Structure 1
Amino acid sequence: MGDYDAAGLLLQVFPTAKIMRICALSVRRCPSMSAKTAMLLYLALATPALAEEPTVALWGWGGESCGRWLEIRQGRATMPRANEAMTQWVLGYLTAYNTFVSRTGDVFARTDAAAINVLVDRECSSEPQQLIAPAVATVIRLQEHREDGGSDE
């Protein structure tokens, strides 16, 4: 288990655009709400995430370093079935994301676990000291950016 900057991960996984959508839905559902009130609602929701830096307990493989991820993925670890266990952790993380956050319900539609692992490999290779959970959050953010018409980089 490890700790990491929850506010940073929150902003990666729940971009401010989602908070703005919440405010926009509030205005539509309550026509008497003004744009000024909606902006205050936005600031009230966004500011605590920016101001506080709480730590979040990570259970399982998400609290391990990307260096450990790479070591296991490259077959240099002695733990039997560790690669499978890490893959299942990542798939569980993605399932939770799809259930509670994703606009489409399947952020990696038509992508298999092996391809997702390659994306995590790439992210972990770029920053081996980061934890696996934030690395997976970055992979999700990049995938959503591609879905929205952005480039791979």
Structure 2
Amino acid sequence: MTSPLLSRSLSSRARDRVSVPDRFPTLLVAGLVGFALICMALGSAGARAAAETPQEEVYLNYQIGLQAVAKCRDVTLSHEQQQRIGERIDRLTGTAVGAGRRLFLIEEAKEIINAKGCDDPVVTSGLAAYDANLASAAQ
């Protein structure tokens, strides 16, 4: 319970200050711009830094291979083939990579291929991993 004197003091201070809703749009825009700049800086730090654990690194490499098969070799996989390949990747990487991270790493794999091209060593490494460990699941 606050004293009447304290309540009056707080009330008069609240009236003297600029209300939060008046500043809110400016703060929101500044926060969003700052967040966007941080995201861009993190994105330019290197795509391989996206994987935070060894399991995520393996998962990303397999996804690079899987995405590169479609883009670089112009192979269209059926839903059943994609499902079998996904199950194989899950067995190879275990359950250490959560669903949200998987989606992030799949998008990261697509961005890597688009940015680096099919002849980049990172992409050819992913294709080699696909050929060695995943291609038989597509049969």
Q: TM class, shorter-chain normalised?
A: under 0.3
More helix by share: 2
TM-score by length of 1: 0.26
